[in-house]
A and B are shown apart, each in its own frame.
Chain A
Amino acid sequence: DIQMTQSPSFLSASVGDRVTINCKASQNINKYLDWYQQKHGEAPKLLIYNTNNLQTGIPSRFSGSGSGTDYTLTISSLQPEDVATYFCLQHSSRPYTFGAGTKLELK
């Protein structure tokens, strides 16, 4: 199985800050990397698919980048409604595997 190492596990930032979350795969995943947001008690929401494609309806302050084994989710200007847990998912090969998650809070 492909292992996904996500960092940091916890992040505290202020409104307006630029925030980055990273995922590193144990092997090349050919950009088949998605990012999800999950707020407490809610279903996960797809933010970014295949590294850098913004899902319909997601604000443009969210963006993704990366290649090979290293991928990044960036929030360009943190908003209060972005408080959530974020996790990455690789679907380059089955079984799909997830990062451990990043809990984002407001400072």
Chain B
Amino acid sequence: EVQLQESGPGLVKPSQSLSLTCSVTGYSITSNYWGWIRKFPGNKMEWMGYISYSGSTSYNPSLKSRISITRDTSKNQFFLQLNSVTTEDTATYYCARDGTYYYVGVMDAWGQGASVTVSS
């Protein structure tokens, strides 16, 4: 059974970078797509982007200048970096397996979420 777990700092200062790790067990990240999604206070959700089985990436254009998703296949982990954060980046960040049933966008396994607050 695939399991995903987010980890990283829960507090980030404005203008700094937010960095999160998603550790995947039970499935190789060299298959499928692996995405990041966030849920803001008030429950609005935003798809941030993904990294594919081959290492190619796709990002939400609203974040494109600030976001980077990378991976370490030897550790079966993938990473989110979001630069120049503001208080509006305060959210719960989820990682998820994408590409279920060969449909990119169908996300059948999610982590529990990592709460990140941006504050000085």
With a cutoff of 8 Å between Cβ atoms, the chain B residues found around residue A95 in the complex are 47, 60-62
Report the count of interface residues on A (CB-CB < 8 A): 24
Considering only residues 62-120 of chain B, those with a C-beta below 8 Å from chain A are 62, 94, 96, 100-101, 103-108, 110-113
Contacts of B44 in A (CB 8 A): 98, 100
Inter-chain CA distance A32–B100, complex, in Å, is 13
Question: Which B-chain residue is minimally distant from A56 (CB atoms)?
Answer: B108
The answer to whether A50 and B103 touch across the interface, beta carbons within 8 angstroms, is yes
Q: In the complex, are the beta carbons of B100 and A49 less than 8 A apart?
A: yes
Check B110–A85 contact: CB distance below 8 A: no
Q: Which of B28-75 contact A (CB under 8 A)?
A: 43-47, 58, 60-62
CB of B103 within 8 A of CB of A91, answer yes
Contacts A87-B45, A98-B47, A101-B43 given: A43-B112 contact, CB under 8 Å?
Answer: yes
Which of B43, B47, B96 makes the CB contact (< 8 A) with A100?
A: B43
What residues of A have a CB within 8 angstroms of the CB of B47 in the complex?
Answer: 89, 94-98
CA distance A53 to B62 in the complex (A): 30
Known contacts A43-B113, A44-B94; A91 and B43 CB within 8 A of each other: no
Pick the contact of B106: A49, A87, A97, A100 (CB < 8 A): A49
A43 and B103 within 8 A (CB): no
Q: Is A77 an interface residue (CB 8 A)?
A: no
A101, closest chain B residue (CB): B43
Q: Which residues of the partner chain B approach A50 to less than 8 Å between Cβ atoms? A: 103, 106
Task: Produce 1/0 per residue, A18-33, CB < 8 A to B.
Answer: 0000000000000010
A46, CB-defined interface residue at 8 Å: yes
Show 22 A/B contacts (Cβ-Cβ < 8 Å), sorted by A: A32-B103, A34-B105, A34-B106, A42-B112, A43-B110, A43-B113, A44-B96, A44-B107, A46-B108, A50-B106, A85-B43, A89-B105, A89-B107, A90-B105, A91-B106, A94-B47, A95-B60, A96-B47, A97-B47, A98-B45, A100-B43, A101-B45
Which residues of B come within 8 Å of A, CB atoms? 43-47, 58, 60-62, 94, 96, 100-101, 103-108, 110-113
